[in-house]
Structures are given as structure tokens and as C-alpha cells.
Chains A and B, each alone.
Chain A
Amino acid sequence: MTDYEKYRQICREARGTGILLVLLILFWLAAGFGAYAVWGPAPVAFGLPVWAIGGTIGVWLFAIIGVWVLLHTTFRDMSLDESGEDASAKGGEHDD
């Protein structure tokens, strides 16, 4: 991967992370305030109302699944050192 390709890939990953954030906020709204508006405070499981489950554990699970999907669809492994031709041009001075 060239340095340019790495930069493009990093931008894609950052955009993907931002999209996950937006989706998480929407889920948080729907699972919490949305669920409360529809089902109210009546307990449905473990003595808890729908919004208290969806808006807490639900958001957490959504985030975990979202990160897993993000890592498997958008993120790619890459060398953190500079690409070969650039590194040799600059003398390849690195810590690692």
C-alpha cells in the first residue's frame, strides 16, 4: 500500500467510525426516548421498562456489534511504516 492509499484508507475508516457514531446516536434516541414514548415506564423484563433495557444494555450491545461490523467491513490491516519507495528515499529512519 502506498502512502496515498494508506491515507485514503484511513479517511474511509474515519468516515466509517463517524457513521457508526451517527447510527449509535439514532439507536440511543430510539431505544431510550423512543421506546419510552411508545411503551412507557411499565416493566417488561427483569423489572425494567423497555427503554431502560434498550437505552442502556441495548446501546452497549449495539456499539459492540457496530464496532465488530466496522472492523470487518471498513478497517484493513496496514503497515504503519512508510511505503517502501518513500522510506528508502528518506533513508528509512524509524524507531521500529
Chain B
Amino acid sequence: MLMTSLGQGLLWAPLVIGVFLTFRILDIPDLTTEGSFPLGAAVTISAMLAGASAITASLLGFLTGCVAGWVTGVLDTKLHMPSLLAGILTMTGLYSVNLHIMGKANIPLLNQKVLTAFLPATWSVTWQTIVVGGLVTGVVVILLILLFQTRLGLSLMATGNNPQMSAANGIATDRMVIIGYMVSNGCIALSGALIAQSNGYADIGMGIGTIVIGLASVLVGEIFLRGQRMGVRLLGMVLGAIIYRYLLTLAMGLGFPVNDLKLLSAVILVIVICLPLLQTKYRTHQQVTRYLNQIGVDQNATTSRVTSQSSAKGLLSGNSQRTSRVKGREFDD
């Protein structure tokens, strides 16, 4: 059971990394996810049915994901649409595109060789999944760590953090945002390709709820592993993907029916958003009380007022001034 979740988590990890790239690095909530995930699945399974090898088909899935990201990026930067709307438009359009690629709503693999079939047949399916997931996720993480050591990676981080400053320092911010969308959705589509091969089919509905899964995993990962270094942050994302699978397995074990899975993932997201907020609030309260005791003041009124102000920093309040300002207003009262 635990090992199954580990394997599944590793297959979902590229999706979480993709969501992390737009959500944390570029500071954009990108809904394209819901379309690019099944796109990766549809393209990969269709390509395999047409005779392509599992590796070629998976890479093709990755590349079409990049194209989907490019579309959202162009809508966002060149046509100046709000990023949420840009994502929704691409996602909606992709539904039809995916149906065209697949020809019908669900296409199963017949007896094509999936990625796990390259491993010795004596291994159990669970182990095969863990090895394939681990290898693919490992390659993605290493390539991204290398990317973020280049000037391009630095420019990407700067653009997400402070677009005005980036432009003033010669960075073509529109181009950076588009590149970010492309890499992100490529990873997400790759995850779709892996999941589809693991399931043995591609389904038009498999993208529903993936953005919630992605965001929840990002937040879970950050609860367990935070840091300034990109390697640590990316490993945190992989960990988040795995722990999220454990949480779902745990909940299913408690007897929740499969139909409640989406509701469950929404509730998990709410919990992981609220948990760090409460944590910060509690810690600040403790600190303020200790400080007031130290300087010999005992005023409950002061304590509560200071606490409510200092806990204004939420987990979702992103990096840039834009988001923190909006969030700050929400929590200020």
C-alpha cells in the first residue's frame, strides 16, 4: 500500500513541479494544467497506438504540453489577458483538441510496450512504477536544477519576483513568462503521459481536479521542506506529491467512496492552506506573549491586536508585491 502510493506519487511529481514553476516561480495561478495533463495523456497513448515507442510518445506528450503552455503564455503576455482567464481559455479549448486527438472519450492501450515494460518482467508492477517514476522525476529535477543555475533560470526567477526590476535590467519579461508557461505545462503533460501509461488508457476527464491536486501538493511539500536553494525546493515538490498520495490513500482507507475523491482533494487543499496560517498565528502569539512578559507588560488587549497584524502573511501570498498587497488587504482587518 505504502509502496503503491510512493510509485503513484513519483508519477504525479512532474505535475506538481510544473504547478510549482508557474505558481511559485512566476507567481501565476495557471489553470492550463487541467487541459495540458489530459493532452499529454491523449498524445502519448495515441502515438503509442500509432506505433511509436513509449519513450518517443512520452517525449511527444511533453512537447505538446509545451505548445499548450505557449498558447496560454501568448494570451497572457501579448494579448494582455488576466492569467486566470488565459488559462481557462486554453483549458477549455484543449478539451476539444484532446477529443480530436483521441477520436473518442477514452482510448485504452492494447498490448503496446509502456515505459515500465523496459524493466525486467520479474519485478512487481509496484517496483517498476517506482523505478520509472523515480527515473523520470529525477531527470526532470536535475534538468531544472541545471536550468536555474543559468542566466536564463535567474532571469525567470527575477521576472516572477519583480517584473519591473527585471525589465529595467534588460530582461524581456514577456518572453520569460512564455518560457515559464511552456516548461511548466511540458512537465504537467509528461505527468499525464506517465499516469496514462500506468492506468493503461487515456481519458478525456482525467484532467479534472488536477490543479487542486497540484496546488495542494505544492503546499504540502512546502510544509515539510522549505529552503532558498532550488534543489531543496524541487525535492520538496516531489515529497509533496508523494505525501499527497499517502493522504488520499489514508482517506480512502477510512472508507470514503471513490466518488468523493474530488471533494476530498478540495478539502485537503483547504486544510493545507489553513494549517500554516494557524501555525504562524499561534507562533506569533507565543512570541508576543513571551516578549511582553519579558519587558513586564501584561496586556491581553495589546497581545491580540499585535497578533492579528503580524499573521497577515499567508502561504498563498506568493512572492511579488502584487499578490502580497492583495492578500495583505484581505487579512488586514
Are these two chains actual partners, yes or no? no
Chain A interface (Cβ < 8 Å from any Cβ of B): none
Chain B interface (Cβ < 8 Å from any Cβ of A): none
